[in-house]
Structure 1
Amino acid sequence: MPDRTTHSIAHFAASFMLGGLEGPLPPGDYDIDHDEELIEGMSRVAWRRVATFIHLPARAVKNPAISQLVAIDHLELETALKRDRENAA
C-alpha cells in the first residue's frame, strides 16, 4: 500500500505540554511530520493519517547532535495548538 509523509510547522507562543514528553516544551516553531497511507477502493484519492511526529528541539535551536523525532498524538497536538492560540488572543 502506498504511503507518504507530509510536513508542517507548529507555532507555539507559550510553553506547552504533550503526553509522553518530559516536562513542558519551550515556545517556538516545531517541525511536524505526518505519516499517511492511501485508502484504496475509493473513487477519489484519500489518505489516512497513521502517525504524527514532532522534531525536537524547536527550529530556532536546532543542533543535529541532539535532535530527536518523537511520536505524538495528532489530536493532542491540535488541542495544544488551539489552547495556545486562545491564550495568545
Structure 2
Amino acid sequence: MSDMSSTRTTNTIVHFSAPFALPDLVGEMHPAGDYKIAEDEELVDGLSWLAYRRTATYIHLPSIAQGSRLRRIVRIEPTALADLLAAANATQEPPQ
C-alpha cells in the first residue's frame, strides 16, 4: 500500500541560454529562458536512513517568462535534460 509521505516532488528552475528542442517533441523549438523542472521521487524502503529514488522528471512549457498560456508538462529523461542544458549553455559568452 502506498503512503502519501513516501513520495515527494522537488521543483527547481533551470536556465537555457540558447533555444533548444526536446527529443520527444520533434520540430518544436523552445526559446532561451528559465523553465520549471519537477522531479518526482519515492522513498526507498528497507534502509535505516532516508533515501529517495527519482521516478520521473518533467519540464514545464513554455518558459516562465512566457506565462501560463498553453502550459504543458512534458516528461524528460534526466540525462537528456542535462545534455540539453550543457549544449544550450555552452554557447553562452562569459560575462564581461
Deviation digits for residues 12-55 of structure 1 (CA, Å, limit 9, x no counterpart): 01001221124221101000000000111112111110101111
Runs (5+) with no aligned partner, structure 2: none
Q: CA RMSD in A?
A: 1.3
Runs (5+) with no aligned partner, structure 1: none
Q: CA deviation at 1:62?
A: 1.1
Give the AA of the match of 1:83: A
Question: In structure 1, the residue corresponding to 2:91 is in which secondary structure?
Answer: helix
TM-score by length of 1: 0.89
Question: In structure 1, the residue corresponding to 2:84 is in which secondary structure?
Answer: helix
Same amino acid, percent of matched pairs: 40
**Which residue in the other structure is 1:45 paired with?**
50
**Which residue in the other structure is 1:6 paired with?**
10
TM-score by length of 2: 0.83
Aligned length: 88
